[in-house]
Amino acid sequence: MGQSKTRTDRSNRSALPSIAWSAHQERTSKPSRKKQRNTDAESLIKKPNRPRVYAGFLHSNNKMATIEQVLDPLVPTKSGRDLSLSELQRLTLRRLRGDKHFIPMLMLGVEGVIDRKRALAEVQSLSFIGRHLLQIEQDYIAFEIKLRSQGKWPADHS
């Protein structure tokens, strides 16, 4: 009954009394990485972690508009054929930079593969290839807006 309980420290194999053992653990243990829970009502609502998909520009300040803003009839935006060449260029560059799943492509009459780096350079310089990439992107944005407005766009495809 009078004996104190002992534990063995595996790193140096020395016997420590249980009180000393808990003090030893407090000094050597790593701090907890648990996040503190926020109890605000807004923080409890799950927000989808989807990247922003830009599809046009706001009329008011010429900032880029997300596809949700373009589809919202209450938000005045420019998209599609209403965009100037420089606006379409800015929009295409932004979409190319943000596209995680860019697929390298081949074009008839063009030498080599067009990967993301080359596509960005071609669009930036507004070369022959860059202008075709602008047209492809403009058509794709119109297609995406059409499907989303009809409710046919997959929810997880952004």
pLDDT in tens, 25-45: 555 555 555 555 555 554 445
Mean pLDDT of the chain: 78
Decide: 92 and 141 in contact? Cβ < 8 Å. no
The span from the CA of 23 to the CA of 143, in Å, is: 65
The span from the CA of 53 to the CA of 68, in Å, is: 8
Global model pTM greater than 0.75: no
| Beta carbons within 8 Å of 83's beta carbon, 6+ residues apart | 56, 57, 91, 138
